[in-house]
Amino acid sequence: MKTIQVIKEELSAASEREREELLTLYGQDGRAGVQKVIRKILREQEKLEEERQRTENMKSYERQYAGRGLICGIDEVGRGPLAGPVVAGAVILPVDEEILYINDSKQLSEKKREELYEIIMERAVAVGLGCVSPRRIDEINILQATYEAMRQAIGQLAKPPAVLLNDAVTIPGVDIPQVPIVKGDTKSVSIAAASIVAKVTRDRMMVEYDETMPEYGFASNKGYGSAAHIAALKQYGPSPIHRKSFIGNFVDV
């Protein structure tokens, strides 16, 4: 008779089809330990199916506009920080591509964002990135800088999209048909993918800035106005990547 540990390892290593057969087989094993393992596997399968359904529900806009051609999701990160650029992502995913756990980047852990970033970059039909500097943000304001970053991202795509799914906004100066979706990063896999790509890209930039300007804690605060960041800003004054139009309440600019 196989030990419970062997059965557990066998179930973990099995493909989905093999696992179903093994669950039927070991379901007849009366040992409490075996039944505990089976219950755990069944709970994991149920959660996986729920995640697949959630992901499938996030493809409704992609299905709605699929007949027009390539669908591109657009999102940005970095509108609110006191320092650093605003970064936009544009992502075209393959039709019917399943990327589980994809979601609004703010709802994901850093580890999960990094994992999904690699998957998206590997599987996407095309990815574009736009980045607008703090100086440019001060020149034209954050809203216009956001639009500029989005236009840059669209321009970086290797293939032209037929429809843009945007997180809440309509981007001026773009001829491609656009569909603004409120809270789109939780409703569209393409927008969610764009938010992840943009977030990871910007976070990595802020970590690099931290290496040359460690006093501001950019690696941890990513330029946002944490108490420690504001205290450092008051102590050391603004850095070259601080947005002058954002920090007037804390220091003289």
> What pLDDT is recorded for position 76?
98
Q: Is 77 helix (H, G, I), strand (E, B) or coil?
A: strand
Class of domain 60-202: alpha beta
> What pLDDT is recorded for position 97?
84
Closest-CA residue to 242 (of 84, 78, 77) = 84
> What pLDDT is recorded for position 89?
98
* pLDDT one-digit tens code per residue, 149-194: 999 999 999 999 999 999 999 999 999 999 999 999 999 999 999 9
Query: What is the end-to-end Cα distance of the chain in Å, rounded?
Result: 76
Share of the chain above pLDDT 70, in %: 100
Two tokens, residue 30: 């009366």
Q: Is 187 helix (H, G, I), strand (E, B) or coil?
A: coil
Share of the chain above pLDDT 90, in %: 80
Asked whether the predicted pLDDT for residue 215 surpasses 90, the reply is yes
* pLDDT one-digit tens code per residue, 39-72: 888 898 899 999 999 999 999 999 999 999 999 9
> What pLDDT is recorded for position 132?
98
* pLDDT one-digit tens code per residue, 3-26: 988 888 888 888 878 888 888 888
Task: Locate the domains of the chain by residue range.
Answer: 4-57, 60-202
* DSSP classification of residue 2: -
Q: For all residues of the chain together, what is the average pLDDT?
A: 95
> What pLDDT is recorded for position 18?
86
Q: Which residue carries 């990513």 as its tokens?
A: 222
Asked whether the predicted pLDDT for residue 31 surpasses 90, the reply is no
Asked whether the predicted pLDDT for residue 1 surpasses 90, the reply is no
Mean pLDDT of 128-132: 98
* Single-letter amino acid code for the residue at 67: G
> What pLDDT is recorded for position 15?
84
Give dist(CA 66, CA 70) in Å, integer: 7
> What pLDDT is recorded for position 193?
97
> What pLDDT is recorded for position 158?
98
- Residue 76's H or E segment, with its range, is strand 71-77
